[in-house]
Chains A and B, each alone.
Chain A
Amino acid sequence: EVQLVESGGGLVLPGRSLRLSCAASGFTFDDHAMHWVRQAPGKGLEWVTGISWSSDSIGYADPVKGRFTLSRDNARNVLYLEMKSLRPEDTALYYCVKDIRAQSSGLFQDWGQGTQVTVSS
């Protein structure tokens, strides 16, 4: 059974940093691209960032470019999202998502339950 378990969320002051982690199990981690998708309270889905199986292709949505850094550790089956200079508009539930393919295909096959990030003073 595929499991994606996010951690690292919480309440943080504007301008501060957070690191999210996603522990993956139940599948061959380095056979799949991975993504983070967020959802603000009562709002729709927003793709944030995605990484290919080998980390040779990483993309960032414009609102987070230059502030967020995505990485993965295929030996440990973990996906990381380093978030800096956080803003109130980054407040959302952050989902760790497994792509159906090794290269990013936008086919989000499996989703974690999410970790809440709240940016507020």
Chain B
Amino acid sequence: SSELTQDPAVSVALGQTVRITCQGDSLRDYYATWYQQRPGQAPVLLIYDKNSRPTGVPDRFSGSSSGNTASLTITGAQAEDEADYFCNSRDTSDHRLWVFGGGTKLTVL
């Protein structure tokens, strides 16, 4: 099955820009989707189809992709952005299956 790799932790100063990455062979064929999970809450869909945002997601969140790496960029990080971020993508071995990255804990300093 496919695997997606994320850095366990990233930090950013308030108001600065941060990039969270997700690596995996499946990303050469499929877009990554990004989710935010605040402590004690269910995840929230952030970015899909490379760089589409559901209604209500601030435009400081954006997605991009190159080769086997997908990135989530937060431009002007806010205190409320401190959360865990997960990527996911389709499993290349079986199109019915999905895989998540291990998650990145973002700290806003």
Contacts and interface: CB of A to CB of B under 8 A. Distances in A.
Main secondary structure of the interface of A (DSSP, over half): strand
Contacts of A100: 45, 48
B96 A107 contact: no
A1 interface: no
A107 B90 CA distance: 10
A15 interface: no
B100 A45 contact: yes
A9 interface: no
Interface of A: 35, 37, 44-47, 50, 57-62, 95, 100, 104, 106-109, 111-114
Given A45-B86, A104-B96, 19 more contacts: A45-B88, A45-B103, A47-B88, A47-B99, A50-B98, A57-B96, A58-B96, A59-B97, A61-B1, A61-B97, A62-B1, A95-B42, A95-B43, A100-B48, A104-B98, A106-B33, A106-B90, A108-B45, A112-B42
